[in-house]
Amino acid sequence: MRCTVVAGAFWGDEGKGKIISYLALKDKIDVCVRTGSVNAAHTVVYKDKKYALHMVPSTFVYEKGRLLIGAGANIHVPQLLKEIEETSVKDRIGVDPQCSIIEEKHSQMDKSSAHLKGLGTTGWGVGPAQEERARRTGKIARDIPELKSYLTDVVSEVNAAIEADKNVLLEGTQGLMLSLFFGTYPYVTSRDTSASAICAEAGVGPTKVDTVLLVCKSFITRVGAGPLPGELSKEEAVKRGWFETAAGTGRERRSAPFNFDLARRAVLINGATEVAVTKLDILFPACKNAETFEELSNEAKGFIDKIEANIGVPVTIIGTGPAVFDIIDRRRKN
Ligand code: IMP
Ligand code: MG
């Protein structure tokens, strides 16, 4: 699989953490670079334990893998140190000296700004930290004593791994509709979330990428303010089993049916070569824990076929439950 970029199609929470943790174990991901920031929580359920990772790459479940945080990311130091402890990855995680740092003041600014509150931000302080970065007054990782032992040239490490034909994964956060450039502005996050931006944050050039895997959920959710086409009432969402609360902030997620137009646009802007569809078991409960396409009901197969026909790229991976191996993998067998 060599160099794969994993990006979200909608408003985040598509299940990237689950898909990435599966790829880590199945494909033995030698190096993963996480991008984005602490506002995103990637859920990984492995060996009966549930992790909500805000900083540590979701490939940590593959114990031989190197874990990196790219220069374009922002680091929340206490959260990173806490997760390093929780996942026991102290000896195999590295951060780029140029990652920017989120300080307590940024979180205070995020929570006390009426404008940001109106957008429904997560309150972690990512927007204010990005502002400081653009002003070139913010701290970066090399200024922080607690990060000294983790500093590494992420660019050299990841590009050397690609050069050596190792399996590399670039982990994106959020989804295209939260992109600062392409999303539902101003109800967006403070960075571009597309595949190209993920490469840029990691320091990997576009010619080095083999696969862009776009992750879509079988229905759509969003937290915070802003438009959501086809939005259901909470009552209807509960009835359909689509009602969720956020892994990071605990906030209620709004929900809507799968949107083929948005998926097509996300495929276009990300240059997706493959799509993963998660939580098919929520739409079609009989699919729960299915491991082959043949096991799916005709209705469920029809839904996947309709997605492929609409977006023009293959649906290669299908999530059928929360655990890492609740997956149908239709990629060519390696
Ligand atoms: P911020 O990224 O905290 O500034 O929040 C801006 C918008 O992005 C808000 O609507 C948040 O709810 C949303 N957002 C940020 N990160 C995530 C995420 O990981 N999942 C879902 N929504 C997110
Ligand atoms: Mg999330």
Q: What is the CA radius of gyration of the chain?
A: 19
Q: Report, as an integer, the average pLDDT of 240-245.
A: 94
Q: Is 52 in the pocket of ligand 1 (CB under 6 A)?
A: no
Q: Report, as an integer, the average pLDDT of 131-145.
A: 98
pLDDT-based confidence at residue 333 (cuts at 50, 70, 90): low
Å from CA of 246 to ligand 2 middle: 7
What pairing do the DSSP bridges indicate for beta strands 42-46 and 31-34?
unpaired
Beta bridge partners of 53: 42
CA 191 to chain centre: 13
Average pLDDT of the chain to the nearest whole number: 96
In whole angstroms, give the CA distance from residue 22 to residue 26: 6
Q: Is 130 in the pocket of ligand 1 (CB under 6 A)?
A: no
Q: Is 74 in the pocket of ligand 1 (CB under 6 A)?
A: no
Q: Report, as an integer, the average pLDDT of 304-312.
A: 98
Whether 329 sits among the annotated catalytic residues: the reply is no
Tokens representing residue 89 in the block: 């990855």
DSSP code for 14: S
Q: Strand 327-329's sheet: what is its strand order? A: 93-95, 66-69, 31-34, 168-171, 3-8, 211-217, 274-278, 315-319, 327-329
Q: pLDDT for 174-197, tens place per residue?
A: 999 999 999 999 999 999 999 999
Tell me the ligand closest to 109's alpha carbon.
1
**Is a pLDDT exceeding 90 seen at residue 248?**
no
Location of structure tokens 């992109």: 179
Q: pLDDT for 2-43, tens place per residue?
A: 999 999 999 999 999 999 999 999 999 999 999 999 999 999
pLDDT for residue 249: 80
pLDDT-based confidence at residue 200 (cuts at 50, 70, 90): very high
Tokens representing residue 189 in the block: 């996050």
On the question of a cis peptide bond just before residue 186, with omega within 30 degrees of 0, the verdict is yes
Share of the chain above pLDDT 90, in %: 97
Q: Is 223 in the pocket of ligand 1 (CB under 6 A)?
A: yes
Residue from 307, 226, 297 nearest 259 by CA = 307
Residue from 154, 155, 174 nearest 7 by CA = 174
Atom of ligand 1 minimally distant from the CA of 173: 19
Q: Is 126 in the pocket of ligand 1 (CB under 6 A)?
A: yes
Residue from 275, 284, 292 nearest 327 by CA = 292
Q: Report, as an integer, the average pLDDT of 74-81.
A: 98
pLDDT for residue 154: 98
**Is a pLDDT exceeding 70 seen at residue 267?**
yes
Q: Report, as an integer, the average pLDDT of 122-144.
A: 97
Which residues lie closer than 8 Å to 185 by C-beta, 6 or more apart?
A: none
pLDDT-based confidence at residue 1 (cuts at 50, 70, 90): low
Which of 184, 187, 223 to probe ligand 1 with, by most ligand atoms within 8 A of CB? Answer: 223
User: Rounded to two decimals, what is the model's pTM?
Assistant: 0.97
pLDDT-based confidence at residue 293 (cuts at 50, 70, 90): very high
Whether 76 sits among the annotated catalytic residues: the reply is no
pLDDT for residue 334: 45
Share of the chain above pLDDT 70, in %: 99
